Homo-oligomer: A and B are copies of this chain.
């Protein structure tokens, strides 16, 4: 991988094409720079709709457009499919392994590290094998295979106890991701699989949502937390608050309840939505630059998202520790844009540090058809109004996806209707829930 020798423009290397990296690159569109964007997948991922891929509503392409195609009108951007191995701040280089297996070295003038986060199992990485996270397309496809495979297996199962375990889904983590996943599993079993089976009744599926804290979607405030718990309860979802996962195996989950008693739930398919930690890239960057990591492995940045001692390196998104900002798509987008603007200002000769200020545009979680909770500024709405707001925000977010209308139309048809079109299990994804080796190792 080389550049034309006469290309003397300022070279920005961006690592990761999630919300942080993509928005940084887009913000640099008219800057007098050349950009190399390195990602280990060929797609940007609209993570908030990952649960819809896992439950068969949307196809991979509908939430994961090819990066090259998204950036085809950005001639200054070169997209590289490769996995970053190391960063050398002294030499100002990034070394990455290409798809061919070759190592390539990229020299940068400015570096934006947007490596994102991975599921955190709080020291119990062995849980990952039986409870995949919800961070990558691989995770979603793996879960899709497990979920639809569990119903297939249940239909054949003679043993009552095992059939119950196959038809019990435990979602761990009561944030927006967990709430949406639990709600969608319930919709799937109550409506989408109607008349599909002859021996089992999918309507008897048990969906359990486990949250270690005192409330669901805690960041939305007490009123919406209560509304969420009430709506999920009415749908038939079993909510356990203040319950810690203290054990997990292929056949079930063990909980310690607030009163100290233990509860075992027999369940083959578990989904981990309990927390995230920074990508391992954070620890590597800390070791080479000497900056501090926070408890979640995130890099402590200066107020302008750059590193102390290495102002040419920016860290944005989930990998960034600043003002206790949460790991949200919106934070990633805004910090990515801030880093891009800082680079542009510096190129214009303005070296003054300008701090990043996050504008909280709100949080949302969809619960079921036509019901959602949303906190947008002073607004706190639930029910149908919340759902409408959710819709509006997602239409806005989807801007930049050339297939946003197709995705939305398909989503609307599937979600409002009964259909789950994306249920085809291919050989490699077909589930053997209990004996499956977990998601591909490269998805973390």
Contacts and interface: CB of A to CB of B under 8 A. Distances in A.
A230 interface: no
Interface string A392-432: 00000000001100100010010000011111111111111
A80 interface: yes
A424 B153 contact: no
B423 A66 contact: yes
Contacts of A413: 406
A442 to B, nearest CB: 5
A196 B442 contact: no
A238 interface: no
Interface stretch (A98-106, A169-177, A349-357): A98-106
Contact of A99 (B2, B137, B199, B432): B432
A107 interface: no
A42 interface: yes
A427 B440 contact: yes
A97 to B, nearest CB: 11
Contacts of A42: 148, 152, 423-425, 430
A100 B156 CA distance: 8
Contacts of A75: 195, 198
Interface in A119-165: 136-138, 141, 148-149, 152-153, 156-158
Given A64-B424, A66-B424, A426-B137, A431 B99 contact: yes
A341 interface: no
Nearest to A409: B406
Contacts of A43: 423-425
B195 A73 contact: yes
Q: Find the residue from A62, A152, A426 having the highest chain B CB count within 10 A.
A: A426
Nearest to A157: B100
Contact of A198 (B62, B78, B157): B78
A152 B61 contact: no
Contacts of A16: none
Given A56-B61, A72-B195, 19 more contacts: A1-B156, A42-B424, A59-B422, A60-B422, A60-B426, A61-B424, A62-B421, A65-B423, A73-B195, A75-B198, A77-B198, A79-B198, A82-B156, A100-B153, A102-B156, A137-B426, A406-B413, A406-B421, A427-B443
Interface of A: 1-2, 41-43, 56, 59-62, 64-66, 68-69, 72-73, 75, 77-82, 98-102, 104, 136-138, 141, 148-149, 152-153, 156-158, 193-199, 402-403, 406, 410, 413, 419-432, 435, 439-440, 442-443
